[in-house]
Amino acid sequence: MKLLEYEAKRILAKYGVPVPKGELATTPTQAQEIASRLNPPFVIKAQVPVAGRGKAGGILFADSIIEVKKAAEKLMGMQIRGIHVHSVWIEERIQTKKELYFGITVDRHSKSYVAIASSEGGMEIEEVAAKTPEKVIRFTINPQCGFRPYHGRQMAKRIEYAGTQSSLLGDIFHSLYEVAVNYDAELIEMNPLVETYDGNFVAVDARIIIDDNSLFRHPEFKDRILEGELSPQEIEAAKNGLAYVKLDGDIGVIGNGAGLVMATLDVIQLYGGKPANFLDVGGGAPSEKIAAALKIVLSDSNVKAVFMNILGGITRCDEVARGVLAAKKKLGIEKPLVIRLVGTNEEEGKRILTEAGIHVLESMEEAARRAVEIVKNRE
% the chain with pLDDT above 70: 97
Q: Walk me through the domains of the chain, giving residue ranges and CATH numbers.
A: 21-92 (3.30.1490.20), 96-217 (3.30.470.20), 231-378 (3.40.50.261)
How far is residue 181's CA from residue 358's CA, in Å, rounded to a whole number? Answer: 48
The answer to whether 189 is a known catalytic residue is: yes
How many helices (H) and strands (E) would you count in the chain?
13, 18
User: pLDDT tier at 128 (50, 70, 90 boundaries)?
Assistant: confident
Q: Which of 5, 99, 101, 319 is catalytic?
A: 101
pLDDT at 133: 87
How far is residue 65's CA from residue 62's CA, in Å, rounded to a whole number? Answer: 8
User: pLDDT tier at 229 (50, 70, 90 boundaries)?
Assistant: low
DSSP class of 133? G
How far is residue 167's CA from residue 345's CA, in Å, rounded to a whole number? Answer: 62
How crowded is residue 29: how many other Cβ atoms within 10 Å of its Cβ?
Answer: 12
Q: Which of 189, 195, 229, 319 is catalytic?
A: 189
The answer to whether 197 is a known catalytic residue is: no
Q: Smallest Cα–Cα separation from 369: which of 331, 338, 342?
A: 338
- Residues 6 or more apart whose CB falls under 8 angstroms from that of 99 comprise 120, 121, 122, 192, 193, 194, 195
Q: 327-354: per-residue pLDDT in tens?
A: 888 888 888 999 999 988 999 999 999 9
Q: 302-330: b or e for each residue (b if 16 or more CB lie within 10 Å)?
A: ebbbbbbbbbbeebbbbbbbbbbbbbbee
Considering the chain, what is the average pLDDT of its residues?
91
Q: Are 40 and 63 in contact (CB under 8 A)?
A: yes
pLDDT at 223: 64
% the chain with pLDDT above 90: 68
- First-to-last alpha carbon distance for the chain, in angstroms, is 35
pLDDT at 331: 84
The number of residues making up the chain comes to: 379
